Amino acid sequence: MSLSLRTNRLPDQEVQGRAKALAADLPKLGSFDVVVVGGGTAGAVAAIVAGQEGLRTAVVEPQAFLGGIGTGGGIHMYYHGLQTGVQVQIDERTDSWNKRLGGKASGFHPEAKKLALQELADEAQVRCFYNHFFVGAVLEGKALRGVAVEGPQGPGWIEAKTVIDSTGDADVAAAAGAPFRFGRSGDHAPQPYSLAPGFVKNLESVGFHNFDAGYIDATNARDQSRAQFEGRTHLRKTNYEEANRMLYVSPILGLRESRFIDAEYVVTLEDQVQQRRFADCIARAKAHYDNHALDYENESLEAALWVTSSGNWRTLMCHDVPYRCMVPLQVENLLVACRAVGMTHDAHQLFRMQRDMQALGEAAAVAAGVAQRNGTSVRKVDVKTLQKRLVERGALAPEALEGKGLGTTLPADEELPKSDVAKLLSHFGTDREGPAQTELMRRGAGAHAALREALNGQDENAKLMAALNLGLQGMTDGVKVLQATVRARRQDQAKARSAGARWSGALFVLEKLGARAHGAIPLALEILQDQELSLTKAVQSVRLLGRHATAAEALEAVRTVLKRPDVQGKLTLQVSSSGAKGSMQDRHFELHLSAAEAFAHWGAVAEAREIAERYTADHRALVRGYARKVLQSIAEPVAAQ
């Protein structure tokens, strides 16, 4: 067979997804049924389960241990997700090692889990290629036949019937030519990264500090190095003492997000909110909307409505994970089992916990076994057989075999469905506001009359919640209340650290209903004239104007705001555990580049180009990439003429 080597790693370019064809003239390091690339959270489980399923299995891992973020990234605890299948076995082994190592740790001891995973991998006869880096996909046409790696003894390739991409960043899929997407809609950034230090707690326990260190393009080698230095710099700001002192700095960056593959099916936030069921469900995810964003003006309107307008940041949700989201387009013999599966950026926030990833790893390994035993490709695997085997392993609820999926569930709160509308509106400002809003939307037309009645009442909070809910359902009855909320710049927010101010949520709803028809354009122009103008106010207004206003209406206003020296451009990122301090980021580029996008849209091309070119040499890869996207948007219309 004629093999070619395809890679997306071109050190002289920063364009994602570029490929170069090379001769596959490399020594073969082995031949396996399954090769798992990346032995992290999902990959370690995929390798262990593949071995348990009787497949000759290898795992390629750049570190010298398995487990990823939970063992080498400092986040050694489970935050939501569901314990299923082989995870019970892993947790029992980890607990046993916990006790042997002293038994005191926040969550689990990272070294205990390393040892547990290695034991299970050895028992499953998994071949571990430690200190080996993936460098390319070995292809025959569009069929993946193996992977090229670089190790201590030089380059080589490993043959595989099925490759499982557990790199976290879809490195294998991208190198093989599978299409993918990257970042959120505003500034095209993924979630912030962490660099968690391990700590001694009270002289007796192993803990960690989890805080957001900044933003990173995880697919860019230069930016990986920059982020390491940036993350370590933050650790200098903490005062240490003997009883609570730092043990180590994690060797692995806490990367929450980078590429997402275009898969046979791409799960959306709407799928989750609308509680869609998937007949090919192979796992369930559980989380709240933990996207670490404090700047919803840069998220999609859909995400902003779910969190800022609906107050659903803390709302726990379980939802189906369809098998198809692991199957990339345009490449055969490949499954993606990591945070890079077919999810939108918005949907990913409800699907990225360590337990979720471990469940994906098990499903991918079982799918590879079913496909090979039945002589089919992983794309055409018999889903019923796959589900049956997952049920046998305790990894999937038996109800999935009925072919209707398991469905999405919101919190089991028996009182909400029984409550009248007035009672639901009373949850405004509490930690039940989000579920109450969702219950009102679920009732639809059945609640409209009572919501309209609340609009005419004396309770200002009930009026606003009713106006928001009607607006979220596409009803315009509460427009005047929403407009008044924006004009008053109402600053309180839903009971969640990421929710955003009430005025912001009201403005998002007005934009959903129709910015021009419902007064959002003049409101945005008013905001830009505020005496105290925050970055959030400025960017949300500029983005809205860029999408909906004309140059005659808004060009001068945006020019004026760019000249203001008083716009505060600092953003303090999320802290997820006590004892850490929030890192502060300079985000002025958000205002400048969102203005450049608006200028380009309005035909002020020279101004747009001048702003964007200033950022093409920025030290942050994501900012450089954003600037290039603005310049590309200018060039494309010209080229089309």
pLDDT digits (tens, 9 = 90+) for 56-73: 999 999 999 999 999 999
Half-sphere exposure of 53 (CA within 13 A, CB side): 29
* pLDDT (mean) for 499-506: 92
User: Considering all CA atoms of the chain, what is the largest pairwise distance in Å, rounded to the nearest integer?
Assistant: 78
Which band of pLDDT confidence, cut at 50, 70 and 90, is reported for residue 440?
A: very high
Note the pLDDT of residue 206. 87
Pick the more confident residue, 448 or 21. Answer: 448
Dihedral angle at the C-alpha atoms of 255, 256, 262, 263, nearest 10 degrees?
110
Give 339-368 pLDDT, tens digit per residue.
999 999 999 999 999 999 999 999 999 999
Pick the more confident residue, 640 or 465. Answer: 465
Residue 613 burial (CB count, 10 A): 14
* pLDDT (mean) for 326-342: 98
Average pLDDT, the chain: 92
The structure tokens listed for 518 are 């419902």
Note the pLDDT of residue 569. 83
Q: Where are the beta strands (DSSP E) in 3-123?
A: 4-7, 20-23, 28-37, 57-61
* Nearest Cα residue to 428 out of 596, 320, 310: 310
For residue 158, give the 3-state DSSP assignment: strand
Note the pLDDT of residue 237. 64
Give 79-113 pLDDT, tens digit per residue.
999 999 999 999 999 999 999 988 788 899 999 99
Which band of pLDDT confidence, cut at 50, 70 and 90, is reported for residue 259?
A: very high
Report the percent of the chain where pLDDT is more than 70: 94
Distance (Å) of CA 515 to CA 452, 455, 523: 22, 21, 10
The structure tokens listed for 194 are 């962490």
* pLDDT (mean) for 318-331: 97
Q: Per mean pLDDT, which range of 63-67, 220-224, 234-238, 549-553 is the poorest? A: 234-238
Give 132-161 pLDDT, tens digit per residue.
999 999 999 999 999 999 999 999 999 999
Note the pLDDT of residue 147. 96
Distance between CA atoms of 165 and 54, rounded to whole angstroms?
Answer: 19
The answer to whether the beta carbons of residues 570 and 585 sit under 8 Å apart is: yes
Distance between CA atoms of 225 and 569, rounded to whole angstroms?
Answer: 25
pTM of the model: 0.94
Q: For residue 427, report the phi and psi dihedrals to the nearest 5 degrees.
A: -80, 0
For residue 413, pLDDT beyond 80: no
For the residues of 414-470, what is the DSSP string, one character each?
THHHHS-HHHHHTTTTSTTHHHHHHHHHHHTHHHHHHHHHHHTSS-HHHHHHHHHHH
Distance between CA atoms of 455 and 477, rounded to whole angstroms?
Answer: 8
Give 532-548 pLDDT, tens digit per residue.
999 999 999 999 999 99
* Nearest Cα residue to 528 out of 508, 492, 558: 558
- What's CA 140's distance to the chain center, in Å? 32
Note the pLDDT of residue 397. 96
Pick the more confident residue, 205 or 401. Answer: 401
Note the pLDDT of residue 16. 45
